[in-house]
Structure formats: structure tokens, C-alpha cells
Copies of this chain bind each other. A is one copy, B any other.
Amino acid sequence: MNPKEIENKFPYSGIPTFYKLQHTTNLKNVDVALIGIPFDQGTTNRSGTRFGPRAVRIASQNYGIYMHSDEGAYDLEQKKHILHGVTLIDYGDVPILPTSTATNMKMIYDTFKKIIESNVFPVGFGGDHSITFPILEAFDVDFDIVHFDTHLDFTDNVANVKFSHASPIKRASGLKTVDNITQIGIRGFTDRKANYDEATKYNSKIITASDIFKNGIPWTLGEIPETKNIYVTLDIDALDISTVPGTGTPEPGGLNYIQMRQILQNLPKKGNIIGFDVVEVNPLYDAGNMTSQVASRLALDLLGSIYSK
């Protein structure tokens, strides 16, 4: 084996890019760009998600060693290759300034705009949930949103702040490009009735964790409308606290990994996925990097179902 082959074969070796992909901002002939967004100024409780992209990159080495530019990765349970012939890159991090929310929102927008205009599929790794809105703004086409979360994120503002991690879906609901919003995994005492009413007024479809535990995944999938384009935003706290302690507001009563994967793997049947993000990974509260591991796996599961049809 030559040096590069060795580095690609062992998770502990090499400067850790997402899934051991090439780090480049050259978008030519690229299919998918993965971007880190180390932004946590929208956080209303535990800080630290700014180190999320770095932790996910490290965890993703475990999968990177099995991904090959030519044949993709082999999914033993599905008995098929995913990402066969697909070119993915690590685009690096969106430049983030401390304290300047407006500038940062602009830079997230600019970065994704450039990627989208190059016809490259964008995947964002947060960072807190505030990063979703500027990504959504960067799309020109109309699309539905499928939103996984404990919380509705439909708060209009937190003390007049409109771009915190409590408001991305409310902000999204004001975009002309956004049509249906489906919110999955919602639960608990961790929001106000007013925000629920706000979501309901928009006609957002709310599927609570309790609904899923009662009715099952096929029912859940049936609730998600078929459409032309879908953007997926996955707050890692939609999963149960036992699987994701390393997040800003971990909650019990959430989905397990199997349920989440089953939904993700069937989403491409509902419409054309145009991009997604995974947010709220906070390595400062994690154990054995498990939350980052799960985040990096779910992103791969979703990419795999999009790119193995």
C-alpha cells in the first residue's frame, strides 16, 4: 500500500476531513459538498456546538475508511452499495465570526448559494440550529421542509432576537420558496403553547414522538406529503437522550436510531431531496464521542438513500 492508501485505511491517521474526503473548495465535477458551520451564538443554553463540525469529522473517520471514490460504501444490511460513482468533498467550514450574527448569517448564505449555484448537493453540519435559515434562503426553487427535532423552533423571537436556535422554522415559514413543513419527533414541555399555535396557524404538520411510538414508522411516513423538492433539517436532539447526550438540550422520549434511519431512508420516495443539515451536536457534553458518531452515521444513511436509487 502506498501512503495515501494507508491513511485512508485507518481512522486514527490523517488530518480529519468529513469521511476522509478530499478537502477542497473546487466544485467542478463535484456531486455533494459537506460543509461545517461552527456557529453557536444562537444558543440559549449549553454552549459548545461550535466544536460540533470538528467532532463529527473525527467520528466520521470510522466510515471514511470504507468509502471509495469508485464503488462507494457497501451496506451490509441493505446488501447494496451506496454512493456508487458519486463525488463528495469536504468543503471546509463556513467562515464564522464571533458575536456578529448578521454577518455570519450572510456568510452561511453566501457559501451555500455558491454551492447550490454550482449544482452541487449541500450538506451542512452545525453548529446550532440558527444555521438552517440562511441555508434555506440560498435555494431558488420551491420546496417542502422535513424537520426533525424535539422543539418546534417556531418562536418568532427571543427577546427581539430573530436569529437564535429557537426560531429557524418560524423564519423559514416566512420564505416564499417554502411550502409544506412537517415536524417530526416534537415532544415535551419544552415549548410554549403560543409557539404551537404559531406552527398550527402556518399549517405545519406536527408529528410528535408519542405519535410515532403509538402509530409506527409506516404511519409516520404516510403523514409526510409527497412533493417536488424537500429540504431536510435534522436537529440531533430529535433522538433520545440515551443516544445523544452530547447536545444542547437532550431530552428523553425521543426516537431511537433505527426509527430515525427508517424515516430517512424512505424520504427520497417523497420528493427530490435538495439538501440537508445535521445540527446541535455538542461534544463538550458527550461521552466517547457517541453523539458525533450517530450524527455522522445518519448523514451517511440519508446520503446513501438519495444516491443509490
Contacts and interface: CB of A to CB of B under 8 A. Distances in A.
A192 interface: yes
Nearest to A52: B12
A12 to B, nearest CB: 5
Nearest to A287: B287
Contacts of A288: 245-246, 250, 285-287
B41 A12 contact: no
Interface residues of A, number: 109
Given A10-B45, A38-B12, A241-B243, A97 B189 contact: no
Interface in A121-150: none
A261 B92 CA distance: 35
A16 interface: yes
A13 B257 contact: no
A158 B213 contact: no
A152 B23 CA distance: 31
Interface in A1-54: 1-7, 9-17, 23, 38, 40-48, 50-51, 54
Contacts of A204: none
A93 interface: yes
22 contacts: A3-B107, A5-B95, A6-B96, A7-B93, A10-B44, A11-B44, A15-B15, A15-B17, A15-B92, A41-B41, A44-B98, A47-B48, A63-B189, A73-B189, A74-B193, A76-B206, A77-B188, A81-B193, A99-B161, A100-B161, A252-B257, A286-B287
